[in-house]
Amino acid sequence: TNWYEWSRDWDILVLLFLVFRLIYLLNIIGNIVIILLIKLSPSLHTPMYFFLVNLSFLEMCYTTSVVPQMLVHLLVEHKSISIVGCAAQMYVFTTLGLTECCLLATMAYDRYVAICHPLQYTLIMSSRVCVCLAAASWVTGFLVEAAQTTWISTLPFCGPQQIHHFFCDILPVVKLACADTSMNEMALFGVSMLFIMGLFLLILVSYVRIISTILKMPSAESRHKAFSTCSAHLMVVTLFFGTALFTYLQPRSSYSPDTDKMISLMYTVVTPLLNPVIYTLRNKEVKGALKKTLARNFFSLQKRFFLLSLKSLLWLFSAPSPVNVIFKETCLI
């Protein structure tokens, strides 16, 4: 973009900067609130919320790998990134994306055990099992994407190295290579089929079993409670996997950079903001814990203020000042 076009669109760029910065800050604040709320509420110390803490932390890292640099590029004329920086961003972003796929599948398994095998839930989903499942999700993301990013980095890049995207995603970077990239595209398609489509199908099968079990419950209250514990996770799965499947499994003949950018903007900026909102508004346990925490902290602040005021009054009336002497004499009279 030349200087004239960049300066002409300055007002739009500033508006986009303010909007995306606000969304990013709300995303960070929302996920931090969820993490602190779960840590401070003993009633939420369950496997489901243990995985939610992992997901909230991952969402913060996920959006931070893309949005801050995008905000900088909105306000500068020359938008550039080093080769090492591009490779690092691509690795971190894809690793966190794959880890989120695994975490969402793990959370679906947790809901399956809780609803379909409630009597064995505490035995199956022990603390050790939860830690192992979360660790396996992170390790899978790091190892798989390390191999894929290393392979892409060995491609020869020549000519104008201009990425038609707002961050270093795999497909836009691969298209810059001046060599046959069919093997890389096949590998990307295979990874997407295995980890995105495969995990999505596992989640789908889990929810088929969950829904069939819920429908067999005798009381309407128990059915409603079971559905409410799954609705938030199901909405997050739909948002995340819907955009990911459209991006990485669409036919290469129908690939459009502009469409890809719009979809990527959805799952890197908008979806991470919606997740805390969904888990807060659609979950009665989280809303109840939030109200209790706010009430407890409010009364704690009131108590501290009262004690501080009382200490101040005691100090004021016990200090040897003319006002204090007059007050004591008046009381004696």
Q: Looking at residue 80, what is its pLDDT?
A: 81
CB 249 within 8 A of CB 189: yes
**pTM to 2 decimal places:** 0.80
Query: For the chain, what are the domain ranges?
Result: 3-318
CA gap 77, 72 in Å, rounded: 10
Burial zone of 270 (CB within 10 Å; 0-12 exposed, 13-18 middle, 19+ buried): middle
Q: Looking at residue 311, what is its pLDDT?
A: 55
Q: Looking at residue 11, what is its pLDDT?
A: 76
CA gap 296, 292 in Å, rounded: 6
Q: Looking at residue 203, what is its pLDDT?
A: 92
Which structure tokens are listed for 9?
């669109």
Q: Which helix (H) or strand (E) holds 39?
A: helix 10-40
- How would DSSP label each residue in 110-167? HHHHHHHSGGGHHHHT-HHHHHHHHHHHHHHHHHHHHHHHHHHHTS-B-S----SSSS
CA gap 290, 34 in Å, rounded: 9
CB 111 within 8 A of CB 233: yes
Domain 3-318 fold is Rhopdopsin 7-helix transmembrane proteins (1.20.1070)
CA-nearest of 323, 129, 111, 328 to 232 is 111
Q: Which residues pair with 157 in a beta bridge?
A: 177
pLDDT in tens, the chain (333 residues): 444 444 457 778 888 889 889 999 988 988 888 888 888 888 888 898 899 999 999 999 999 999 998 888 888 877 788 888 888 988 999 899 899 999 999 999 999 999 999 889 989 999 999 999 999 999 999 998 888 888 888 888 776 677 778 888 888 888 888 877 777 778 777 887 888 888 889 999 999 999 999 888 888 888 887 887 788 888 888 888 887 777 776 666 666 667 777 777 887 888 888 887 787 666 666 666 666 666 665 455 455 545 555 554 454 445 444 434 333 333 333
Q: Which helix (H) or strand (E) holds 84?
A: helix 83-116
